[in-house]
A and B are shown apart, each in its own frame.
Chain A
Amino acid sequence: MFALGAMLVYLALAFALGLLAGRKRSFWSVSEYAVADRGLGFIVVWFMMGGTVFSAFAFLGGPGMAFSEGAAAYFVPAYLALGILPWYVLGPKVGRIGARKNFVTLGEFVGDRYRSRALTVLIGVISVLAFIQYLTLQIKGMAFIFSILTEGAIPYWFGALLAYGIVVVYVASSGVRGAAWSDVLQGALMLIVAWAVGFYLVYTLHGGPSDMFSAIASERPDFLTIGRDGSPMSSMAFFTVIAVSALGFLMWPHLFTKSYTTTEKRIKLTTLAFPLFGIFLVPVLFVGFAGIGVVAPDALGSSDELLPYLITNELGASGWLYGLIGAGSLAAAMSSSDAITHGGSVSFGRDICGALMPGLSERAQIWIMRLAVVGIGAAAYWLSIFGAAGIIALLVGAYGSIAQFVPAVYGALIWKRGTAAGAISGLVVGIGVNYYYQIVADATPWDMNAGFIGLLCNIAVFVLVSRFTSPVDDALAEEYRRA
């Protein structure tokens, strides 16, 4: 009961903060809804980026990965830091161009540079599909937490509806400001919970991290290394998955467009925090390592269930711990969901509807975006509760395709000669190759990450086709290159 109470108190706080954030701001401005009139403060941006990146994956997937795949989970703290570090250079450039040309999406940025509305729409469609997949993962996480920690008192479908319904309402009403301010609460809460739980489990179950890791290493010597015979992951797989994240993580439109929400200095100061976020994640992995030797692998339906399983079966039902973990994990899932839902609504309104119907008034666009929050939310909710195998394969393909925006975006900033034909054909080839290795084929050459192979092919096609097609106006290309 205490657990339920704590989670409800938390939900009420997040809801109130999200709604209050949008007060006294223009309800009818696309710029306010999408990028907070480019004026968010430093602390808010810091938590917004952190909360957004630190999703249900960190709370459920990270520990599960450490439990079942050992050192392969080291990729989590590594990719988190490396994925955001390029923002220091990329963010201010994108922000300057965006402010001058009044952009609010990634699709607009690329579409304007390559003079191609088709490219904008293509990026918009891939983004919206990928966002829906990302959301279903978060919604499943929220539903799962609710159902386990209330011992089934709140059914799966209702837990998801309650937590995600709140997100939909404050995003639709307050836009990016609602998402940002509730992330401050959510970010602070989940950092505290992650550390408390990680250390608590390690000390109660194993007497401390040294004893725990020594025991694991003597039991399974290569489990905690990369690229040995008995290691869970090869060096090539480890390198390529991190390289793809380092290049492609910022291509997630909800992260990319945060470049438009603030100033150059604040972008740089925010980047500064991410190596620290990476270190903050290490105790979260402790949760997973703590399960080794304590939980039998076949006791879990999937390794994501490790944290709830440990809490219920190994620590006894301590009410405050339940409540704390419940609220912390909800915070992680919700602070990502709000940014993703928001990003999806902006991409849909601007990249798809805006590009296909250029005459759309600002008022119409803002209505489309706010309604898209509800539409995208409903689609993701429906998929996460009922599923649909065919659609899910499509969504997983889109989710893996986000990194394929890399050549078009970075190309815009460094290479004058890139053309729309090059960018589109590269993107299509990259997505096709990624889809083939991710979903159709059983293995990849040299154990490389599917997205990495897609990216290599994408870059090759982008460069080749661009060489043989006529470039855009020189002044325009220079404007992007010198931004």
Chain B
Amino acid sequence: MKPSHGRRNATRAYIVFLIAALTLMTVPVFTFADRVEPLVLGLPFNLFWIVLVEAGAFLAVLGFYLFEHGRGGDS
């Protein structure tokens, strides 16, 4: 079934985003961020990196949601 009332659909882009999030938090990208120094906000750099990616993932999903559903209320 196609999504109703011709709403915009970003499934493919979302899957690309998922793969990107996985590589950012594991191999290969995480490998480059995998060190203790410099400490950021009291966290070792690699732990800060994971927090940063998760903050980025939050914004990305928010972006997807607004793109697909606009600012309308809950249905």
Contact = CB atoms under 8 A, between A and B. Distances in A.
* Chains A and B come from one and the same complex: yes
Interface of A: 42, 71, 74, 77-78, 81-82, 85-86, 88-89, 96, 208-210, 213-214, 217, 221, 224-227, 235-236, 238-239, 242-243, 246, 263, 265-266, 268-269, 271-272, 275-276, 278-279, 282, 285, 479, 482-483
A242 B36 contact: no
A82 B37 CA distance: 25
A265 B69 contact: yes
A156 to B, nearest CB: 35
A235 B47 contact: no
A281 to B, nearest CB: 10
Contacts of A278: 50-51, 54
Contacts of B25: 78, 82, 242
A227 B34 contact: yes
Interface in B31-75: 31, 34-37, 39, 41-44, 46-47, 50-51, 54-55, 57-58, 61-62, 64-65, 68-69, 74-75
A482 B2 contact: yes
Contacts of B18: 82, 85-86, 246
Closest 10 CB pairs of A and B: A209-B42, A239-B26, A275-B57, A275-B54, A275-B58, A217-B36, A210-B42, A278-B54, A239-B27, A78-B25
Contacts of A269: 65, 74
Contact of A271 (B42, B61, B68): B61
Interface of A is mostly: helix
A440 to B, nearest CB: 27
B31 to A, nearest CB: 6
Which of B18, B34, B35, B43 lies at the interface centre, i.e. has the most chain A CB atoms within 10 A of its CB? Answer: B34
Nearest to A277: B54
Contacts of B37: 217
Interface size class of B (residues with CB under 8 A): 35 or more
Given A96-B1, A227-B31, A272-B58, A209 B51 contact: no
A272 B61 contact: yes
Contacts of A71: 44, 46-47
20 contacts: A42-B74, A71-B44, A77-B51, A78-B25, A78-B54, A85-B21, A85-B61, A213-B36, A226-B34, A238-B26, A238-B30, A265-B74, A266-B74, A268-B69, A272-B65, A275-B54, A279-B54, A285-B47, A479-B1, A482-B2
A263 B75 CA distance: 8
A291 B18 CA distance: 34
A71 B2 CA distance: 44
B55 A265 contact: no
Contacts of B54: 77-78, 81, 275-276, 278-279
A356 to B, nearest CB: 31
A213 B42 contact: yes
Which of A86, A239, A275, A482 lies at the interface centre, i.e. has the most chain B CB atoms within 10 A of its CB? Answer: A275
Nearest to B37: A217
Which of B18, B41, B44, B64 lies at the interface centre, i.e. has the most chain A CB atoms within 10 A of its CB? Answer: B44
